[in-house]
Structure 1
Amino acid sequence: MSQENIIYFSDYICITKGADGFYIESYKKGMSVDEFNKIIGRHPEIKITSFMAIKNAILFAPKPPVKFGEVKDRISVELSSDELKAYIRLCVEEWEFSGDARVKLMEEISKSLEKAGVVFGIKEDVLLDGLCNNKQILIAEGIPPEHGEDAVIRMYEIKKAKPAIKEDGRVDHYELNLINKVKTGDWLGERIDPTPGTAGKSVKGNPIPARPGRNYPLHYDKNSVREERKGGVTYLYALKSGAVHYEGDRISVSNHLEIDGDVDFKTGNINFDGFVTIKGTVADGFSVVAVKDVEILGTIGIGSVKEVVSKEGSIYIKGGIAGKNKAVIKAKKDVYTKYISDATVACEGSLHVGLYCINSNITAREIIIDSPKGQISGGNIQCETKVLSPVLGSPSEKRTVISVKGFNRNTLKERLEEVMKNIETLKNELVKVKAEVNAYFENEQNGKVGSLKAEDIRQRFNRIKNELTELEEEKKAISDTLRTRGEGEISILKKAYPGVVIGIKNIIKEIDRPIVNTTFYIQDGYIKEV
């Protein structure tokens, strides 16, 4: 090769430039890799394509000429995969960055960009003051698309019934909202439409479409709820006055009977397929039976009523129960009341009593006396898991029987695992059905899907949601039970008097002396106390 093609020469190696790239020839061993790298560093125009050729030439000298590199492009242009960014890499002489040569270099860069199709978002400031060798330089940047925002849904929130405790320690049942009542035309929910988004622009000047936001269906009972669109928002309003509740994700307004005064000879006995609110009281000898929740809001409470029954819901009696050994209260779920005297109360959930429970027959999953000054005295209390009261019995040593059926902790743990597995299975099912619902909902706007199929999807969706709700409630109930001490608990927060008989899992213990701040529980077949 001619002298002018020699890039580097020493006693060890010779680097030459050929028509198709760079070659290395070695004469003897002794050159280190670091020394070779320093040589290459002085020649940025060399793009190494074979490190193996270099290694063999240096380590196994002498070696004949072998190609190890190519000539780097003076200006290489590279685009990101989304074409939102363009980069250049320069391999030019250093003197080309100044004077008239710089102007020519900028023109050359512009032509290279044009050849690569880069016509938009070119950074003029980088061209003027930001060029250098052997570095990836961001030279152009497009406008990314602004994807649309998904639909936003807000729905009516059901207030949970929970008795509040005042600072003075008294239970304030006036704040308990058992039934969520609405009137015709009241707001029940809304959905803000998704936005289409804004298209972007690539460095090639091509539009980049934006992804529109996803729309979501509003689940509601069309017989009791209507929708209305206003300015990009779909609102849900009650078609009738009633009680709001959810079946799965579907909001409904159920029949709600509201009696302004008392249940007495003017109204007769109440038997209603829905929710019932009585603003007064229930006269002695009369009955109230409802499928859903019942609330009796009179401050004087009720007396020797025949019965108050909720077949599927809860009961709230604001003023208390003075049953005169005649009143019967039954609820599928929970019962809340200020006090109970001489009555029979049965519920499958929790019984919350504000002040006291005297001479009454109680059956519940658990009974909780909310006031720090509350007490249970006299009567027969039968619970599944727990009894919690500040005081049990009375100074007169009135016979008070407290019985907790108890449970098997291992069996409950197994059931909890089963419930959690079922919940996970249903959640996976729900994801699939939601995808169907969303697909239907998007196509429904264009009338591509028939209403029969839509109704089938909705029914499956609501069935799964209802099953999930039931399982979640069971999970919570089991978890609450497992927090009970032992396998059945009777907690006395302040004092218990002689005359109180406690039983847990049929193991009986009679209190024969006053005791304070004690919890009884069963473990290993014995009643223990802490």
Structure 2
Amino acid sequence: MEKNAIEIKVAKNRLKAWIELIDSELLEEVRTNDLIKLLEKEKIQKELIHFDEANWKQSLQEKQQLVIAEGTPAVNGVDGYIDWKLSLDAELSEQEKSSFRDVKKIPSVTAETLLAEVIPPTEGKSGIDVYGNIVKQQKGRKVSTKAGQNVEFNEETRNFIAKKDGKLSVTDKLIQVFDMYELSGDVTLETGNIDFVGSVYIRGNVPAGYTVKAQGDIHVLGIVEAAYLKAGGNIVINGGVSGMDKAVIQADGDVRISYINQSSVESGNNLIVSKSILHSQCVAQESILCENGSIIGGTCSAGRQILVNTVGNFANTKTELALGINKNKRERLEYLKKEIDKLLNNKTKLKTLGNQLQDKKERIGLNAKERIMLLKQRNMYEKVIEQINEMEEEMDEMQFSIGNYTDMEVIVKGKAFDNVLLIFGKYSRKLDREFKYFKSYLKEMEIVIDSL
């Protein structure tokens, strides 16, 4: 009778249950006790049931539906973050510029300067569904940035403090203070190749054939030709790169360049280009930003976003824009999988050895050599478990970023010509005509194009 008169419905997330009116004529025959029994049959948590016993039938007649039980949604934790105590703005005001070559200022700090405070993540709070089951929350992620050279981290206050005068260099992984090597002109035979533990500031050009390496940042006011530049921090090249298919630019942080021509550029964070990228191979772990310029030929690969004005040209030069995991991340993921397999095998062997020794200890006791072996086994077993947990945590974060295409997008503010290939992980779409002013992203395993 009850089933013909009313029906219990539960939301997909199981956080709400309600009754729906099926037959109003039979509703009068349904008693409140019948409703409670029906809810018990559906295993709705008794403590979460709430309704007006005197007027529930009238409310159901009027609204056709009546919420009968509600759970509590989980509250996700908030990620930890870095609260900077000084400005990281590298832009120069017009008053600070002495010539057109002055584009960025070098942020410097003195010893004992308070740089930043780490704000820890929150745990969040679990919820409960209408069946009484726990709804797990997602805990906030810890800040992974660590203190590097000439920077100290105070565990009690969670503060980063500079321990030396120098240039502040900030990446996702490290906060460091570096001394700077400054070159007043071009890199020449007189200077030779440069390999410096701090940051390098070159007021001239870097000709073909030279190498410039820095553990900090590299700033070149002039042009870089077919040279090799590698920085542990950021790279800024005011004049651009004319690589002749031989230039290689690599930075763990951001790369800022006016133009890139026939070069290979890799950025551990963002690649920012003010003019154009021509026939080059560019990789950015985060985004490639060429908002007012063009990308013609070659391949540009980014982990999150590619923003460009024009892609391709009237000659329909093949141009690839790729989003998703790159070669370096794939290799790291494969390495982690193999190492975890090895550690799990070691864990099994150590557990077997420990069980054997413990059993012997309980039966007849252990000699001195065996007692030492049991202590070593326990220490090694705990260390192996710790290593497995650390690697699995890193692998989980990588797999989340690999599988999460929701935030990845290509934005074209101007025009994309024919023969442009859009790639999102293993999915690809070749443009067979011109498109203007659009955003492209992956939706239900298909690359879609929407107008801006």
Using structure 1 for the length normalisation, give the TM-score.
Answer: 0.41
Using structure 2 for the length normalisation, give the TM-score.
Answer: 0.48
